[in-house]
Amino acid sequence: MAAPTLSPRPRIIDTDVHNAFADIRAELRPYLSRHWQVYAERHGIVVPSTDYASPVGVQREDARTPSGGLTGSDPAFLFTDHLDRYGSDTAILTGSHVLGLSVHPDPDRGYAFATAYNQNLANRWLSPPTVSAAPSS
């Protein structure tokens, strides 16, 4: 009779990782057309609120970046602090700043900001093969 073999450790997928921008205007600007860059300089990049207020807050204070930056705004720190610490193999990024883009009242502006967000996300966050993104619509 053959000796039993151990199954490999199951993959752990964190399906709700909130990545964030340290400076949304600076980080999205390179991905916006000239028209929307001018608009953002004049009016800012405003994403509608989802009107969900958590009674305990949504940002983990223990996960701020070493420089004191916003939780989820430093890819390298997020990967080592969160994924490595908890043994996750894969992260699905959901985006802290853009949850309301899908309900933006101006479809052209919403599309421009969502496209810029997705391009920034791909360039800045998706280099490790263990990260997936939930694209903004």
Whole-angstrom distance between the N-terminal and C-terminal Cα of the chain?
A: 55
Per-residue pLDDT tens over the stretch 79-132: 888 888 888 988 888 887 787 888 888 999 999 999 999 999 988 888 755 555
Supply the pLDDT for residue 90.
Answer: 85
Cβ-proximal residues to 113 (8 Å cutoff; 6+ apart), any chain: 28, 32, 36, 45, 47, 98, 101, 104
CA-to-CA dists, residue 86 to 38, 81, 101, angstroms: 42, 8, 30
Residue 109 three-state SS: helix
**Residue 80: Cβ within 10 Å count:** 11
